[in-house]
C-alpha cells in the first residue's frame, strides 16, 4: 500500500496539506492510509487500530478535504460534520488537533461542546460564530439539542444537512451509560450520511453497527505483530501481597522519580486518598490527580500534566481512552482493569506514535490467572518482574498522615469500601472473588486507622487487621469550619448522650395478643360497615326502595293489577302508599 500523501486522488487541498505538515507526518500511518481514501470515496468506516497510531487525523483530514472540495461554499450555520467522544478530555484533544489544521482553512469553523460550563454559553457561541465541525461529548450535545427551539439558529436545524458523523472510541459510546444519549442524538441527524467508528477495541455487534447508521461499512483493522498493544510497548506484571502493595508502589515511584508516570486506581475515592498519601510519603515528587467528579478542574490538571517533564498522574479509567499525553514512560495499573479491553486502553497512554514505553499490572497472588486471561482475550503477553528490595515500612507514616485530617481518614475508609464493591461487581468474577482476598491485610495495605463498617465483613474475616490505638474523637478536621461544627456536636453528644444529627428511630408499639373471638367480632363488624358503605338493600335507609323494587317485579310477572300498582305508587285518585 502506497502511504505517501501524494498518492491520494484527488490530491489533498493545499490548505489541508499545509496543516498536515504541521504534524511532521512525511507519509500516512497504516490506519490513515486505509481510512482516508475510503472516507473520501464516501464509504462508512469501522476502524480498529492500536493506540497512538494516528486515528484522529485519519478522520479529520478527509472531513476537511470534503468540506473544501464542495461544489457550493458551506454556509455559516451549516454543520457538515459531528465528532462524538466519551470524555471531555478526549473531545478537547481532538478539537486541539483540529485547530492546528484549521489555521490554514480560514473559511471552516469549529465548535467544542463539552460539560464544565453553562449550556447557554455554548448556544451563544454557535449563534455568534456557527460551527461547520462540531466536536463534543454526547451528554452536552444531547442537552443542547433538547433545549434548542425549532426556529432561529438552532443547532438541530443546522444539523439537517449533516454529511459526516464520527464516533471516536465507539465501543465505549455503545456501552450502557451512553446508549440512550446516542440514540437521541442519532434521531436528530439525517439517515443519509457517512459514518465512521474508530477505536483500539472495536465492536463486531451487527445490531450496534446498524443502530449507528452503518449498513455495509468498510472494516479496517491495523494491528502490530498480531497484538492489541503497540510493538514498542513492554508489558509487565508483578504479584504483590495485599499489605505490601502500596509499599511496592512507593519503592517503584522512587526509582522513577525522573520519569513521567500514570497510576490507575479503581475509584474516585481511591484517587483522592492515595494522592494525599503519596504526596505525604514522597514530598519531593510532583503528584497530580484527576477523575470524573473533579469537573471543571480536570482540564487544568490534564494540561498541567502534559507540560510536565517528570511527575505522577493518579487517575481513574477516565484517562484510559484516546488522550494523547506526550512522553509518558510508565503506566502502572495499581488496581486491575474492569475488563480486558480497559487493560489495552490503559496501556495505550504510553508507547504512542512509535515511541517506547512500559506498563506494569500489579496483581494479588490470588489474581495471577488474570495474566493468562489477558493473553487469551487480547493476545498480549505479560512478563513477570520481581518486587523491588528493600521495601519501605510506610504503615505508621500513612496513619500519621491521616491523623492530621479526619477527612482524609474518612476518605481512606471510603476508598477501601469502593474497592470492595468494585471487586464484587468485576466483569471477570470467575477470577476476582472476594472470598479469596484477605480483607484484613488489604485494609492494612490501605493504611486504615480502623476497619470500616460494611455488610461484607459479616461473611469475610478481617482478623488480620490491627487498628491504630487512639481515641477517634481526638482526630480533627483540617478544615476549621468542619472542625468547629464537629466540636459543637461532640459537646452536645457528651451532654445529652446523643449525636445531634443522628436520627432516633421511633419505637414500635408493643404487640398485644388479641383473643380469637374478638378477632371474629371485629371482622363481622368490618363486613357490616362495608356493606353499609356500598349501598346494599339490607340497609334500613333503603327499605322503601327495596319495597318499590319488589312491587315492580310483581307487576312485571302480572301478580298485581294496574289499579293496585297505581295505588301503590300514588298514581290513582285514592293516593298511594305515602298518601
405-454 pLDDT, tens digit each: 999 999 999 999 999 999 999 999 899 999 999 999 999 999 999 999 88
| Claim to verify: residue 562 and residue 473 sit in the same structural domain | no
For residue 393, tell me if it sits in a domain.
Answer: yes
| Claim to verify: residue 179 and residue 318 sit in the same structural domain | no
For residue 531, tell me if it sits in a domain.
Answer: no
| Claim to verify: residue 218 and residue 264 sit in the same structural domain | no
For residue 522, tell me if it sits in a domain.
Answer: no
- DSSP collapsed to 3 states, 143-163: HHHHHCCCCCCCHHHHHHHCC
For residue 214, tell me if it sits in a domain.
Answer: yes
pTM over 0.85: no
Among residues 291, 322, 321, the alpha carbon closest in space to that of 415 is found at: 291
For residue 100, tell me if it sits in a domain.
Answer: yes
Q: State residue 1's pLDDT score.
A: 58
| Claim to verify: residue 277 and residue 341 sit in the same structural domain | yes
| Claim to verify: residue 272 and residue 157 sit in the same structural domain | no
Q: Per-10-residue mean pLDDT for the chain, 579 residues long?
A: 78 91 87 92 88 88 94 91 93 94 92 90 91 95 80 78 92 81 91 89 62 78 70 94 97 96 97 97 96 87 93 94 88 94 90 88 96 91 94 96 96 96 92 92 96 85 91 93 93 86 58 61 73 51 69 78 75 48
For residue 515, tell me if it sits in a domain.
Answer: no
Q: State residue 569's pLDDT score.
A: 67
For residue 528, tell me if it sits in a domain.
Answer: no
Asked which of 170, 189, 222 is the last residue of a domain, the reply is 222
Asked which of 495, 515, 549 is the last residue of a domain, the reply is 495
Asked which of 180, 197, 222 is the last residue of a domain, the reply is 222
| Claim to verify: residue 291 and residue 315 sit in the same structural domain | yes
Q: State residue 96's pLDDT score.
A: 94
Q: State residue 575's pLDDT score.
A: 45
Separation CA 346–CA 72 (nearest Å): 44
Q: State residue 305's pLDDT score.
A: 95
| Claim to verify: residue 84 and residue 185 sit in the same structural domain | yes
| Claim to verify: residue 218 and residue 238 sit in the same structural domain | no
Report CA Rg, the chain: 35
| Claim to verify: residue 315 and residue 385 sit in the same structural domain | yes
| Claim to verify: residue 208 and residue 122 sit in the same structural domain | yes
For residue 411, tell me if it sits in a domain.
Answer: yes
Q: Which domain holds residue 103?
A: 5-222
Question: E-strand spans in 306-363?
Answer: 311-315, 330-333, 357-363
Question: Structurally, how many domains does the chain consist of?
Answer: 3
Separation CA 350–CA 352 (nearest Å): 5
Instruction: Find the CATH number of the domain harbouring 356.
Output: 3.40.50.300
Cα 48 to Cα 26, 198, 202, distances in angstroms: 23, 6, 6
| Claim to verify: residue 137 and residue 246 sit in the same structural domain | no
63-78: buried (b, 16+ CB within 10 Å) or exposed (e) per residue?
bbbbbbeeeeebeebb
| Claim to verify: residue 11 and residue 36 sit in the same structural domain | yes
Amino acid at each position: 500500500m502506497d502511504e505517501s500523501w501524494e498518492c491520494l486522488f484527488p490530491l489533498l487541498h493545499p490548505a489541508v496539506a499545509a496543516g498536515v505538515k504541521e504534524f511532521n507526518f512525511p507519509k500516512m500511518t497504516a490506519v490513515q492510509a486505509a481510512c482516508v481514501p475510503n472516507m473520501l470515496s464516501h464509504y462508512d468506516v469501522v476502524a480498529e487500530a492500536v493506540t497512538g497510531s494516528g486515528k484522529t487525523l485519519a478522520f479529520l483530514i478527509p472531513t476537511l478535504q470534503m468540506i473544501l472540495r464542495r461544489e457550493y461554499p458551506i454556509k455559516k450555520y451549516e454543520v457538515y460534520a459531528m465528532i462524538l467522544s466519551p470524555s471531555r478530555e478526549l473531545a478537547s484533544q481532538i478539537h486541539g488537533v483540529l485547530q492546528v489544521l484549521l489555521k490554514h482553512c480560514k473559511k471552516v469553523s469549529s465548535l467544542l461542546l463539552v460539560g464544565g460550563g453553562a449550556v447557554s454559553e455554548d448556544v451563544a457561541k454557535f449563534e455568534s460564530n456557527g460551527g461547520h465541525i462540531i466536536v463534543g461529548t454526547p451528554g452536552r450535545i444531547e442537552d443542547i439539542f433538547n433545549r434548542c427551539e425549532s426556529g432561529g439558529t438552532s443547532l438541530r436545524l443546522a444539523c439537517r444537512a449533516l454529511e459526516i458523523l464520527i464516533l471516536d472510541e465507539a465501543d465505549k459510546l455503545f456501552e450502557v451509560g451512553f446508549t440512550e444519549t446516542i440514540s437521541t442524538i442519532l434521531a436528530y441527524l439525517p439517515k443519509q450520511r457517512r459514518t465512521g467508528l474508530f477505536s483500539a477495541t472495536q465492536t463486531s455487534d451487527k445490531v450496534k453497527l446498524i443502530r449507528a447508521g452503518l449498513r455495509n461499512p468498510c472494516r479496517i483493522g491495523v494491528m502490530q505483530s498480531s497484538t492489541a498493544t503497540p510493538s514498542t510497548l513492554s508489558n509487565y506484571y508483578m504479584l504483590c501481597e495485599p499489605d505490601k502493595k502500596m509499599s511496592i508502589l512507593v519503592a517503584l515511584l522512587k526509582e522513577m522519580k525522573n520519569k513521567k508516570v500514570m497510576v490507575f486506581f479503581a475509584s474516585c475515592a481511591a484517587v483522592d486518598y492515595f494522592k494525599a498519601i503519596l504526596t505525604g510519603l514522597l514530598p519531593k515528587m510532583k503528584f497530580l490527580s484527576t477523575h470524573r467528579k473533579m469537573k471543571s478542574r480536570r482540564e487544568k490538571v490534564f494540561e498541567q500534566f502534559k507540560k510536565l517533564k517528570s511527575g505522577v498522574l493518579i487517575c481513574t479509567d477516565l484517562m484510559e481512552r484516546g488522550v494523547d499525553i506526550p512522553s509518558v514512560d510508565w503506566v502502572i495499573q495499581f488496581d486491575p482493569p474492569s475488563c480486558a479491553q480497559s487493560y489495552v486502553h490503559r496501556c495505550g497512554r504510553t508507547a504512542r506514535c512509535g515511541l517506547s514505553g512500559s506498563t506494569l499490572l500489579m496483581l494479588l497472588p490470588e489474581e495471577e490467572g488474570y495474566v493468562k486471561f489477558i493473553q487469551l482475550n487480547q493476545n498480549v503477553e505479560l512478563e513477570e518482574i520481581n518486587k523491588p528490595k528493600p521495601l519501605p515500612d510506610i504503615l505508621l507514616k500513612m496513619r500519621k498522615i491521616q491523623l492530621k485530617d479526619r477527612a482524609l481518614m474518612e476518605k481512606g475508609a471510603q476508598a477501601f469500601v469502593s474497592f470492595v464493591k468494585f471487586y464484587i461487581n468485576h466483569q471477570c468474577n470467575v477470577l476476582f472473588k472476594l472470598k479469596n482476598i484477605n480483607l484484613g491485610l488489604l485494609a492494612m495495605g490501605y493504611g486504615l486507622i480502623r476497619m470500616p463498617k460494611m455488610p461484607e465483613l459479616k461473611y469475610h474475616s478481617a482478623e488480620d487487621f490491627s487498628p491504630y490505638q487512639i481515641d477517634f474523637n481526638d482526630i480533627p478536621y483540617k478544615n476549621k469550619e468542619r472542625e468547629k461544627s464537629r466540636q459543637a456536636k461532640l459537646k452536645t453528644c457528651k451532654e445529652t448522650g446523643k449525636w445531634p444529627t443522628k436520627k432516633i428511630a421511633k419505637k414500635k408499639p408493643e404487640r398485644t395478643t388479641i383473643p380469637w373471638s374478638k378477632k371474629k367480632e371485629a371482622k363481622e363488624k368490618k363486613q357490616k360497615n362495608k356493606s353499609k358503605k356500598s349501598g346494599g338493600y339490607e340497609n334500613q335507609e333503603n327499605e322503601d326502595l327495596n319495597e318499590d323494587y319488589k312491587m315492580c317485579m310483581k307487576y312485571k310477572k302480572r301478580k298485581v293489577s294496574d289499579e293496585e300498582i297505581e295505588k301503590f305508587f300514588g298514581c290513582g285518585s285514592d293516593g298511594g302508599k305515602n298518601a
